[in-house]
Each structure stands twice: as structure tokens, then as C-alpha cells.
Chain A
């Protein structure tokens, strides 16, 4: 599956959310973006972000100290 990617490793709150929002704005509905980041707060923040905006958090996983999110645009 092809999807957009956004690497926010090393960036802290609120940059991963802000950059994800900006990336989503350029995408079409049903397209998916993969966001990788190291901000520990992002694990809960992305759930809240998707919940507020109606995007689907398709999956989230940890890889070492990295957190990976797949978000489908609403």
C-alpha cells in the first residue's frame, strides 16, 4: 500500500501534531499517512487528535524508541 510518510523523530510536542495536520491538509480523503516520531506524549496525543477531527488511526506501534502511526484522512 502506498502512503505518505512524515518523519518527526527528534521533534517534541506540539510539532508532530502540527506537521501531521499540515500534511493531512494536502491529502485526499481515504489516503493514509505514516508518521514516525519519538515524542513520548504522541502516543496519547495522536489518539486525541484523530478523535477530535474524525480521522482514523488505522494502527500504531512502537519500534524501539520510535512510535509509528498510520492515519487515514477523513
Chain B
């Protein structure tokens, strides 16, 4: 064990899949007795919006994403459609939503918490969320778009918090 027990994270991505790593690490970190701060910037601001229902996965340009169906017989569920589907297919309107709903179903089948649940636990356990003021302005968000109890600040605040942290991750 080290002298300080702080963890700081930068959450910079806002798709449904990439919303998981910062929230999983933040909640687990605080469960393991760390002080945890998450600086949400650029698309990572999505994690702090009141409404999370718009979060999607993006198979477009993401050829490594395994795609297995969460229903049907076992042999069918075993097929990885990911590499079989030409990337151009994902331009078809609605397919991204379909892929997102399949991903959500797969997560549910595997007992994986929803982003809403994980975020709620993070807040309940005392994770500090800092929303990047600059990107809020840039994307035209209003403070009312975000959940209660978060801090609004800039890079200097983050660096000040991260200064004493002994685990600092960029996601």
C-alpha cells in the first residue's frame, strides 16, 4: 500500500460501451477505500447528463467489436457477426440503434449493471465528478442538463486534484 490513497480519472468518451470503464473503476476504487475523482471532458460529459437513454454503441469504424446475438440457440449465439458485417452496413439508419439494443440485452443477460445503476452507486459512495466547464460551453450544454451534486471546473482544478493522486487514468 502507498502513502496516499487517491485515484483520479479522466473520462473522455461518451458511447455506451466506453461509459463503463470509468464508472466501473471509480465505483470499485471507492469501494476499496480510495478517494476518487472523475474529470468528465469532451464526450465524457455524457456520463453526467440527467438523461442517459441516448447513449449508444457505435459499430461504425469499430471492426474489433464482437457481435453475438443475445437470443436463439447456443450455436447461433456463438457466431461472431462482427467481422462478417461490412462496415458500410452501419450507415443504414436504425442499425446502430439495433446494435445498441442487442448490446444492452447482452449486458442484461450477463448480469452487468446499467450505466444508471453504476453512476448512482458512484454518487452514493462519494465519487467526486467534475464536469469540464470549457466543453460544456463548447457543446452548448446548460448546467441544468447535468445531475445534481457535481462540480464544474477546468483543467487546473483537475490537475490540482490529480497532483496528490497515486493512480491517474485517462479513459
Contacts of A11 in B (CB 8 A): 111, 113
- In the bound complex, do residue B121 and residue A18 qualify as a contact, i.e. CB atoms below 8 Å apart? yes
Number of A interface residues in the complex (CB < 8 A): 17
Q: How far is the CA of A22 from the CA of B31 in the complex (A)?
A: 8
- In the bound complex, do residue A52 and residue B33 qualify as a contact, i.e. CB atoms below 8 Å apart? yes
Residue among B1, B31, B112, B113 with max Cβ neighbours from chain A (10 Å): B31
Contacts of A49 in B (CB 8 A): 31-32
A15 contacts B by Cβ under 8 Å? yes
A21 contacts B by Cβ under 8 Å? yes
Q: How far is the CA of A13 from the CA of B112 in the complex (A)?
A: 7
- Closest-by-CB residue of B relative to A54 is B33
- In the bound complex, do residue A12 and residue B31 qualify as a contact, i.e. CB atoms below 8 Å apart? no
- In the bound complex, do residue A12 and residue B27 qualify as a contact, i.e. CB atoms below 8 Å apart? no
Residue among B1, B111, B113, B121 with max Cβ neighbours from chain A (10 Å): B111
| Contact string against A for B residues 1-44, beta-carbon threshold 8 Å, 1 for contact and 0 otherwise | 10000000000000000000000100110011100000000000
Q: How far is the CA of A44 from the CA of B8 in the complex (A)?
A: 23
| Contact string against A for B residues 105-120, beta-carbon threshold 8 Å, 1 for contact and 0 otherwise | 0000011110000100
- In the bound complex, do residue A53 and residue B33 qualify as a contact, i.e. CB atoms below 8 Å apart? yes
CB contact list, B57-72 vs A, under 8 A: none
- In the bound complex, do residue A18 and residue B32 qualify as a contact, i.e. CB atoms below 8 Å apart? no
Residues of A in contact with B (beta carbons under 8 Å apart)? 10-15, 17-18, 20-22, 38-39, 48-49, 52-53
Q: List 10 A-B contacts (CB under 8 A).
A: A11-B113, A14-B31, A17-B28, A39-B111, A48-B32, A52-B1, A52-B32, A52-B33, A53-B32, A53-B33
Closest 8 CB pairs of A and B: A21-B31, A12-B111, A14-B28, A52-B32, A11-B111, A10-B111, A12-B112, A53-B33
